[in-house]
Amino acid sequence: MGVNRGRDGTPMDEISGDDIALIEARIEELSEAIDRCRKLSLAARIAIGAGAAWIVLTLLGLIPFYPSAMVGALAAVLGGIVLLGSNATTWTQHEEALHKSEALRAQLIGQIEMRVVDEAKPRWLH
């Protein structure tokens, strides 16, 4: 008996559905992490916008000057900028890992030798 091999000669015993399932789980985790990054990015942009708007409105005299509110607005702008930068790096790393995982999944699926199902046999539902 010979060893079943995939299209590229890799032994089929080395490729299992569990391997593909683990990669699928990793892809799902990375997709959820990217969604969280999108939400954090939105929150950071809102903080930057709100803080900047408060500062501009205070400088224009439309809002009375309160030192604590000005410090809060500056903190929102600076904190939003830091969060946006840090989140962008994390987002990029997650997307790169997602693309690698998807490529690995496609490669493993491509190595599986597909077989034709005999359609001549009747299929019974019970």
The total number of structural domains in the chain stands at 1
Q: State what percent of residues in the chain have pLDDT above 70.
A: 78
Residue 11 pairs with which residues in a beta bridge? 5
Burial class (CB in 10 A: 0-12, 13-18, 19+), 80: buried
Confidence of residue 84 (pLDDT cuts 50, 70, 90): very high
Interval 12-46: pLDDT, tens: 456 667 888 899 999 999 999 999 999 999 999 99
| Position 35 in a domain | yes
**Whole-number average pLDDT of the chain:** 84
| Position 39 in a domain | yes
User: What pTM does this model have?
Assistant: 0.67
Contact indicator for 91, 41 with CB cutoff of 8 Å: yes
Rounded CA-CA distance 35/87 in Å is: 11
In this model, does residue 125 exceed pLDDT 70? Answer: no
Mean pLDDT of 68-97: 94
- The residues, any chain, with a CB within 8 Å of residue 64's CB and separated by 6 or more, are 58
| Position 124 in a domain | no
Confidence of residue 1 (pLDDT cuts 50, 70, 90): very low
Q: Which domain holds residue 66?
A: 16-110
Rounded CA-CA distance 87/76 in Å is: 16
